[in-house]
Structure 1
Amino acid sequence: MKHQKIFLLLSLLFLFSFNEIKIKDSLVKAQIGKMPIFSNVVYTGNDDIYKNNPLKSDEFYTPILQGCYPDPAITRKGDDYYMVCSSFAMFPGVPIFHSKDLVNWTDLGGVLNKVSEFNPHDTGISQGVYAPGITYNPHNDTFYMIVTAFTGGMGNIIVKTKDPMKGWGSPIKLDFNGIDPCIFFDDNGKGYIVHNDAPDKGKELYEGHRVIKVWEYDLANDKVIPGSDKIIVDGGVDLSKKPIWIEAPHLYKKDGRYYLMCAEGGTGDNHSEVVFVSDSPKGPFKPASNNPILTQRYFPQDRPEKVDWAGHADLVLGPDNKYYGVFLGIRPNDKNRVNMGRETFMLPVDWSGVFPVFENGLVPLKPKMKMPNGVIENKTGKDGFFPNGNFTFTENFTSEKLDYRWIGLRGPRENFISVTKSGLEIKPFAVNIKEVKPTSTLFYRQQHNNFSFTSTLDYKPSSEKDLAGIVCMQSERFNYVFGITKKGKDTYIILERTEKGESKVIASAKIEINKNIRLQVKATGDSYQFSYALNGVDFENLGGSVSGDILSTNVAGGFTGALVGLYATSTNDAYAE
């Protein structure tokens, strides 16, 4: 009898524990079910400049990389071209592209894609990593990517690979200060690094006074040779005129002489590209008499189809044995604000004389150019090549390998996303978009002044701390949040504007979601509209037309362009009113 009682008691305890586990499991599944799932994202660009300038069969558009892809650097091995850009706190770091003809480019993702080796988790959006250089060394059949990292005490680092298609080695920390490094290999195999730095202590003459330094590089041990550094440019082309921000240096060798090409004038309205020549990589360097060789600073501010801020360039020999230059520039909107950020442009370069000159680089830049001789077809936006001009990008999240255009901020996207049968599920971090931490937001660069970004969202928030939707972001201190949250027992859609870190809900509406909701942000120049559709078709505007001022570098500052993101958080502080 005693044994029967014990058996009965144990059975009851087992049943209770089993049911408790089932209840907990159900609660966990219920919680998982409440995670936001995004599907059917459509980005459409519709800029007048492309409508007004249709392409002929032998033409392509510049910028070649639209949106925030600044500070381009380029190299060549045989028929293969590789180009890298700045990424700041976006992840992965240093976007890299491949081409066979300088027209059609394939996105290879990011060079710095291991968070254990590059971790910008605590940096502002305009820090992280920027101004890379990329160089192929034929003497050891190795590619080198060198860059300045503003995170984790890394400073200037270099990574290597035999094949950029197969990934890169671990970062090697280099022992010098300054920014904008680039590595050069001479005909005899000897290596040199040039970079921007401050003048020697006590020798700074004015605000913005910088110098260019050169170091000899030890290829066997991957380090600069101590004591080999030398200032090769002081201030810029003409120190008596107090030039500012000589930076982004690149060394080249042609016809036995050494050419140093740099940006000068700062990255705004006065930006330009200048060049120097020497008989030695360590100088002395003499400036060209016709500097600058590229700039847009001389023209009326109200010119049509304006491209501005041109500079920060690199040169490469094209497939037609002619030189081409890649450089950054901006295309402001109707209010002369820079929302897309600095983009990557291209021009042919005439190097038939002593110095290289960007063809049409000293007249207002045009939106298209001739393809290099021998290039048969412009395939941009087709067959896996990066799109160009006006285009529509549709993402249904049906492929396990997500398009590289989707990026994280301060950390990998893989930390918070999973592809399900229903779409892309985002696991909300306990982090707000306004914090300087990795956020659970999948970002896409704004690539047009006139665009729409629409997504279908399946989501039922549990509390006012839960929010999911779309964010338009210039930085952690300047952004719009457009999302679904809770107030009491009711579901609300809200639009919040954050300027200088101060947030205000500018509109909210009580809604009932039966299945899912479609969210849309649409920009016409500086005018942004946020809308939602409960039946999937009929969009209702929330908050009217709002200014894109806070999404511009003019107002927000920094070096990035606007990002549009699929956002989720479990620490929402934007409450419905």
Structure 2
Amino acid sequence: MKKNQVSLITALLALFFFTGSNAQKNVPIFSSVVYEGNDDVYKEHPLEPDEFYNPILQGTYPDPAIARKGDDYYLVVSSFAMFPGVPIFHSNDLVNWTQIGHVLDRKSQLKVHDTGISAGIYAPDIRYNPYNDTFYMIVTQFAGGFGNMVVKTKDPKEGWSDPIKLDFQGIDPAIFFDDDGKAYVVHNDAPNAGEELYQGHRVIKIWEYDLEEDQVIEGTDKIIVNGGVDLADKPIWIEAPHIYKNNGRYYLMCAEGGTGGWHSEVIFVSDDPLGPYEPAPSNPILTQRYFPKDRKNKVDWAGHADLVTGPDGRYYGVFLAIRPNEKDRVTTGREIFILPIDWSGEFPVFENGLVPMEPKLQMPEGVKNRTGEDGFFPNGNFTYTEKFSSENLDYRWIGLRGPREDFMEFTKNGLQINPFDVNIKEVKPTSTLFHRQQHKNFSFTTTMEYKPKSENDLAGITALQNEKFNYVFGITQKDDKHYVILERTEDGFSEILASKEISIKDKLQLKVEADGDDYKFSFALNAGEFQSLGGTVSGDILSTNVAGGFTGTLLGLYATSANDAVPEK
């Protein structure tokens, strides 16, 4: 065969493989994203040099737990069906935080591929055991047949073990290492069979834990709190327990009241880790439930806390709370706050945790506010720009039910998202790269290259609370014409709010923005002006008030080859 014939065949084969893969898959390429947050509270309360903002982590980062080894602090939060799971943050001062990855970043650790977004990973706890120089992360995984499980590492920056399944029921497990080297696990559970008294009646159990076998010791389980602080008041959802030792006594801190408007943090004490535990006379030690509902810059639902000693020797508490919009709807989800702890008396109390919370705190002595600088997580109002120029994609970008790497790849022109034959309303891994909504007032703008080939193709943006409540804003095709389309899905019912025929010649831009509860979607063609599609729409379906569940709004770069959003004629 002659050389020019070989070259021709090689070229034809290359063309065949190109048209048979990339072209038929019809993949969008996203070259940039700009997220800009612009909340009034931060403009009205500028920082002084010795101040920092609360919350310390904005957006849906709920159920915090925190551990310390020397000068290093590690904080973990719930991730539900987001993939990878359990974001983990590092700090040396409790003010400036970097995300160092995720605890559960492999399919062998996280099996959430067939579950709703609010199932999966609930309420992780992280602790350092100085007796074997090992970190433990213990958690409930409502998926994959796991239940309660634990993973371990010598260094949280170097990855974690595969899960060890634990032999007990219930949720919200936490581990405690005593001064004598013994270990215990506490968790929320149902009352004994036949002893249920009312809806929401729960108990706290404790087990002895075998560190050699990494398993609770059969037969050692014991109920140490029944119902809550006062069973006569029918308290609901005693959960998220943690044990601390201070001045020779054991303190059991729990959330009580459910993770909503009656949420609170309560404390008990005992002379023995196995109890009996007595409640403090002045519970709760943290709550926002007693104040006017129309208060300015409202923080609410405070609870689900953990304590740690700070670099200044004082105790601090991290906890979740929400900041609703002007219609009292929660779109940003449960966020992470911090307060100093007054433990000058018998029981710890969150300083200013029993009065309406303020947006700023005094810096711990000797600490400089570097949030948003040198890799530290941003705080307050900020602009985040992603050019997709590095394959080390920022950890804040996540998938849903499956790894990001299964659908994305980097090209010289930007990030390519290879569409799955799955749309955003299905309970399956989706080809969507998500960023959390972190402000009430924000814009999220992406620049993309894309020409759909059929009605089954769509790429663009999704604003998602869950699989049954979301907006889809993207580009699709019908009758050989291209359309930009806006779809609203409420409780599983989808409606096309608007569509417009367009002519795509070059890159296009898509934007979603919010002013409190008012959301708008707009597009720009070929470097032109932005045009609104659908006008102002409600953020109601993006709130946990309407959609339910435990997450906040996720803003996604979305592609699918199973599109069912058909443009209007």
Using the size of structure 2 for normalisation, the TM-score is: 0.98
Is 1:169 the counterpart of 2:153? The answer is no
Q: Decide whether aligned partners of structure 1 residues 488 and 286 sit closer, same or farther in structure 2, where only a CA change above 3 A counts.
A: same
1:246-294 deviation digits (Å, cap 9, x = unpaired): 0000000000000000000000000000000000011000000010000
Tell me how far apart the structure 1 counterparts of residues 387 and 527 of structure 2 sit (CA, whole Å).
Answer: 16
Is 1:425 the counterpart of 2:416? The answer is yes
Q: Which runs of 5+ in 2 are unaligned?
A: none
- What residue in structure 2 maps to residue 573 of structure 1? 564
Q: How do residues 430-469 of structure 1 correspond to structure 2 at under 5 angstroms?
A: 430-469=421-460
Q: Identity across aligned pairs (percent)?
A: 69
**Equivalent residue for 2:53, pick from 28, 38, 61:** 61
Q: How do residues 153-168 of structure 1 correspond to structure 2 at under 5 angstroms?
A: 153-168=145-160
Q: Decide whether aligned partners of structure 1 residues 283 and 511 sit closer, same or farther in structure 2, where only a CA change above 3 A counts.
A: same
Q: How do residues 22-41 of structure 1 correspond to structure 2 at under 5 angstroms?
A: 24-28=16-20, 31=23, 34-41=26-33
Tell me how far apart the structure 2 counterparts of residues 518 and 272 of structure 1 sit (CA, whole Å).
Answer: 44
Is 1:260 the counterpart of 2:252? The answer is yes
Tell me how far apart the structure 2 counterparts of residues 497 and 31 of structure 1 sit (CA, whole Å).
Answer: 29
Q: How do residues 490-529 of structure 1 correspond to structure 2 at under 5 angstroms?
A: 490-529=481-520
- What residue in structure 2 maps to residue 412 of structure 1? 403
Superposed displacement of residue 536, structure 1: 2.2
**Equivalent residue for 1:348, pick from 340, 344, 348:** 340
Superposed displacement of residue 22, structure 1: 5.6
- What residue in structure 1 maps to residue 480 of structure 2? 489
1:317-367 deviation digits (Å, cap 9, x = unpaired): 000000000000000011110000000000000001000000000000111
What is the one-letter code of the residue matched to 1:407?
A: I
Tell me how far apart the structure 2 counterparts of residues 171 and 544 of structure 1 sit (CA, whole Å).
Answer: 48
SS for the counterpart of 1:373 is: coil
Q: Decide whether aligned partners of structure 1 residues 253 and 28 sit closer, same or farther in structure 2, where only a CA change above 3 A counts.
A: same
- What residue in structure 1 maps to residue 99 of structure 2? 107
Tell me how far apart the structure 2 counterparts of residues 405 and 136 of structure 1 sit (CA, whole Å).
Answer: 25
Is 1:190 the counterpart of 2:182? The answer is yes
Q: How do residues 317-336 of structure 1 correspond to structure 2 at under 5 angstroms?
A: 317-336=309-328
What is the one-letter code of the residue matched to 1:552?
A: S
1:281-311 deviation digits (Å, cap 9, x = unpaired): 1100000001000000000100000000000
Tell me how far apart the structure 2 counterparts of residues 468 and 28 of structure 1 sit (CA, whole Å).
Answer: 20
Q: Decide whether aligned partners of structure 1 residues 166 and 526 sit closer, same or farther in structure 2, where only a CA change above 3 A counts.
A: same
The answer to whether the 8 A contact 2:39-2:440 is kept is yes
Q: Decide whether aligned partners of structure 1 residues 275 and 22 sit closer, same or farther in structure 2, where only a CA change above 3 A counts.
A: closer
SS for the counterpart of 1:31 is: helix
Which deviates more from structure 2 when the two are superposed, residues 78-87 or residues 111-120? 111-120
1:498-555 deviation digits (Å, cap 9, x = unpaired): 0000001110000001111000001000000000011324100000000000000000
The answer to whether the 8 A contact 1:178-1:197 is kept is yes
The answer to whether the 8 A contact 1:264-1:272 is kept is yes
Is 1:290 the counterpart of 2:282? The answer is yes
After superposing on structure 2, the runs of 4+ consecutive aligned residues of structure 1 that deviate more than 6 Å are 14-20
1:427-466 deviation digits (Å, cap 9, x = unpaired): 0000010000000000000000000000001000000100
Superposed displacement of residue 30, structure 1: 5.5
- What residue in structure 2 maps to residue 226 of structure 1? 218
Superposed displacement of residue 27, structure 1: 2.0
The number of residues matched between the two structures is 567
Is 1:478 the counterpart of 2:478? The answer is no
Using the size of structure 1 for normalisation, the TM-score is: 0.96
Tell me how far apart the structure 1 counterparts of residues 317 and 237 of structure 2 sit (CA, whole Å).
Answer: 20
Is 1:399 the counterpart of 2:390? The answer is yes
Superposed displacement of residue 381, structure 1: 0.5
Is 1:201 the counterpart of 2:199? The answer is no
Q: Which runs of 5+ in 1 are unaligned?
A: 1-6
SS for the counterpart of 2:55 is: coil
- What residue in structure 1 maps to residue 87 of structure 2? 95
Superposed displacement of residue 18, structure 1: 7.5
**Equivalent residue for 1:545, pick from 516, 530, 536:** 536
Q: Based on CA coordinates, which of the two structures has the bigger radius of gyration? A: 1
1:482-504 deviation digits (Å, cap 9, x = unpaired): 00000111000000000000001
1:375-411 deviation digits (Å, cap 9, x = unpaired): 1x10100000001000000000001100000000001
Q: How do residues 82-161 of structure 1 correspond to structure 2 at under 5 angstroms?
A: 82-161=74-153
The answer to whether the 8 A contact 1:94-1:130 is kept is no
Tell me how far apart the structure 1 counterparts of residues 21 and 134 of structure 2 sit (CA, whole Å).
Answer: 50
What is the one-letter code of the residue matched to 1:494?
A: I
Tell me how far apart the structure 2 counterparts of residues 231 and 209 of structure 1 sit (CA, whole Å).
Answer: 13
Superposed displacement of residue 372, structure 1: 1.1
Aligned Cα root-mean-square deviation (Å)? 1.7
1:8-64 deviation digits (Å, cap 9, x = unpaired): xxxx9x999879746633522661683100012000000001011111111111110
